[in-house]
Amino acid sequence: MVKRHLVIAVLTGALALVACDDPVETGRSIVTVSQFNSGSPVQSDVLFDDGTSAYVPEDLIMCIFTSRPYNAYVTGFVRDAVMIDTYTITWERIDGGTGALPTRTEACAIYVTHADDTDAEIRLVTWEDKGGPILSPLVGSANQIRMRATIEFHGREVGSTAEIESAITVDVNFADTVNT
């Protein structure tokens, strides 16, 4: 099976693209994450407390997926849609500290057509992550933790056995921000 790899790095709100593909195969699609979190850095609040209510928020982030032909110069074929069915998030500390969030794989159903961009929300940080031993010490403190998340999307072309992989890397700042 042909696998395609794509890495998009979000660096202070700017997108940088690096692609590495297997040998050319006509009639296939390449799926990229064309936008993540509206192009903004991710600021994660470990506890929302506005004085009347307090809770641990999950971080749901909007992604925009784009599909394009593997070979734009080949004409006369019908490109299949792509179904992304899982994503895996791997974390690393980038602030010099020790300990990172555990790797997590989530099921999803993101149907990316060849005609339009597809918007989908993914769960980047769970409330369990924020209540765990790495992030919970931030509650009530002025400290922050910086991590880098690598998110690998896995799926397949509808109507074929071609596997699709796409990955993005994003920096996330965790803190207990003041909510008013």
User: What residue spans define the domains of the chain?
Assistant: 4-175
Does the predicted model carry a pTM greater than 0.85? Answer: no
Q: Give residue-wise pLDDT tens across range 10-51.
A: 333 333 333 333 333 434 677 778 777 677 778 888 887 777
In three-state secondary structure terms, 49 is: strand
User: Residue 2 above 50 pLDDT?
Assistant: no
User: Residue 3 above 60 pLDDT?
Assistant: no
Structural tokens at position 66: 């784009």
Q: When comparing pLDDT for 47 and 100, which is higher?
A: 100
User: Residue 170 above 50 pLDDT?
Assistant: yes
Structural tokens at position 171: 């920096």
Please list, residue by residue across 59-97, b when 16 or more beta carbons sit within 10 angstroms of its beta carbon and e when fewer do: bebebbbbbebbeeeeeeeebbbbebeebebbbeeeeee
Could you tell me which CATH number the domain at 4-175 has?
A: 2.60.40
Of residues 83, 79, 77, 80, the one with CA closest to residue 65 = 83
Q: Give residue-wise pLDDT tens across range 116-143.
A: 788 999 999 998 999 999 999 999 889 9
CB atoms within 10 A of CB 5: 13
